[in-house]
Amino acid sequence: MISRLVVVPHPPLLVPELVSDAARDTEPVRSACLAAARDLAAHAPDWVAVGVDPSGPRVVEGVTGTFRGFGVDVRVSLSDDASSVEEELPLPALVAAWLRDRVGARSVRVHLVPPDLSTAECVALGERLAGSPALLVLGDGSHRHGERAVGRPDERAEPFDEDVRKALATADTAALRALDPALAAELGAHGRAAWQVAAGVPGAWRCARSEFLAPFGVGYHVAVWEA
């Protein structure tokens, strides 16, 4: 049974080599994600992860990838004994591998799900993933926060991400299941499907710590759940 669940965003800005002069501005998000990943690594060396990508549903494991497509050839691996290279590894898998590398976990197997996966299918996947001791959930909130928004600003972004923040801070799986996929898509909150997979994982959860940051117009949620 999964007894530790960690939620992080997966923006490329986590990787210092990709942001160079902006490394200081991006440090709060990076530090929060690494702290959560260290907690997961201390709990278990082998992780299961779930992230959102149009190439899903599929599973990637045991490969090396690169952030070259994001500007710099930073190589990362999904396991200590990665045996092959996948040149176009999706961003959630790259960030999962980067976190694994940075905190010393042994491996991470990444389940990629499509962004339009229904709530029922997300919950069902969460139930199927319950056999692993540690789950890494990767997903960004709305990209429509304020004047620095990636998309045009939308007044619905703040209440949407506040609902997500409260649900994660209280380990409220019912609230996560209640998130509206259509609204999430309109707001560019691509983490919705991954969060709803987390909502399907059985357990009497409590939140050990949580944080919300939106420094660049995008909502970034970080949380650690314990069972």
Contact (Cβ atoms closer than 8 angstroms) between residue 34 and residue 102 = yes
Mean pLDDT (the chain, rounded): 95
pLDDT band of residue 25 (cuts 50, 70, 90) is confident
Alpha helices in 44-118 (DSSP H): 91-103
Distance of CA 50 to the CA centre of its chain: 7
pLDDT band of residue 217 (cuts 50, 70, 90) is very high
pLDDT band of residue 74 (cuts 50, 70, 90) is very high
How large is the average pLDDT for residues 125-152? 92
- Residues 218, 99: Cα–Cα separation, whole Å: 20
Task: Tokens 């440090």: give the residue.
Answer: 27
Q: Is the pLDDT of residue 151 over 80?
A: no
Contact (Cβ atoms closer than 8 angstroms) between residue 46 and residue 105 = yes
Q: Is the pLDDT of residue 120 over 90?
A: yes
How large is the average pLDDT for residues 55-60? 97
How large is the average pLDDT for residues 129-156? 92
Residues 109-119 pLDDT 10s = 999 999 999 99
Q: Is the pLDDT of residue 23 over 80?
A: no
Q: Is the pLDDT of residue 42 over 90?
A: yes
Closest to 185 in 3D by CA, of 204, 162, 160, 208: 160
Question: What is the pLDDT at residue 124?
Answer: 98
Percentage of the chain beyond pLDDT 70 is 100
pLDDT band of residue 1 (cuts 50, 70, 90) is confident
How large is the average pLDDT for residues 100-112? 98
3-state secondary structure of 23: helix
DSSP state of 187: T
Amino acid identity of residue 211, one-letter, is E
Question: What is the pLDDT at residue 197?
Answer: 98
Higher confidence at residue 49 or residue 132? 49
Contact (Cβ atoms closer than 8 angstroms) between residue 227 and residue 148 = no
Rg (CA), the chain: 16
The counts of H helices and E strands in the chain are 8, 10
Question: What is the pLDDT at residue 38?
Answer: 98
How large is the average pLDDT for residues 93-109? 98
Q: Is the pLDDT of residue 22 over 80?
A: no
